[in-house]
Amino acid sequence: MITPSEWSTLLYLKPEDFAGKNPEALRLSIVQKLDHFTGIIGSRPLILSAGRPGDPKSHGAGQAIDTTWPGQDPLVINQKALESRLFKGVGIYVNEIGVASHHFDDWDARTASEPATWGGIITHPVDSSTNQHVRVTQYVAMQSVIEILKKKLWQAVTSPAVLLWAGLLILYLWRNRIH
């Protein structure tokens, strides 16, 4: 359990950032690393999941945090996480509408010198027996998730509205060029 005095040593993250995400189950080391990484990114993450009592892996050991970074390019977040070498594991997930989330861990079971990396595609199909949506994660190579995100970003950049604005900007610049 992280004590109040340990929380006060952090520069960016506060206990309320982890509200409802079992912060009492987290190890200080992973929170300190995420705090340092928050300073590298320059904006605060939205914590999606932290300690998960009963989980046999990194979340259950209090050594993993899932986040999303509103307003930030998920590919940049992923690259900076790898470059920072703060984490032993870096995962990136994308859902069916192209929203990305990140998993960072400091799991003791990882002994390799390079961080473990992976990707996942999260879908919410309907279970026909209950007529309820269920979460399904298909683990894939990180490169597959990155390609999906690049495609989503390209689609956003090439949307008709963006192309119209770009065309108007080019026309404006052309008409007002210096002779």
Give CA–CA dist 47/31, Å, rounded: 11
Give CA–CA dist 82/105, Å, rounded: 12
What does the pLDDT average to over 6-14? Answer: 95
Q: What is the pTM of this model?
A: 0.73
Pairing mode of beta strands 136-140, 46-49: unpaired
| Domain extent for 91 | 4-175
For residues 64 and 103, the answer to whether their CB atoms sit within 8 Å is yes
CA 100 to chain centre: 6
DSSP-derived secondary structure for 39-98: HHHTSPPEEEE---TT-SSTTTTT-EEEEE-TTS-HHHHHHHHHHHT--SEEEEEEETTS
Q: What's the domain count of the chain?
A: 1
- Could you report the per-residue pLDDT of 20-50, keeping only the tens digit for each? 888 888 999 999 999 999 999 999 999 998 8
- Could you report the per-residue pLDDT of 138-157, keeping only the tens digit for each? 766 667 777 777 776 555 55
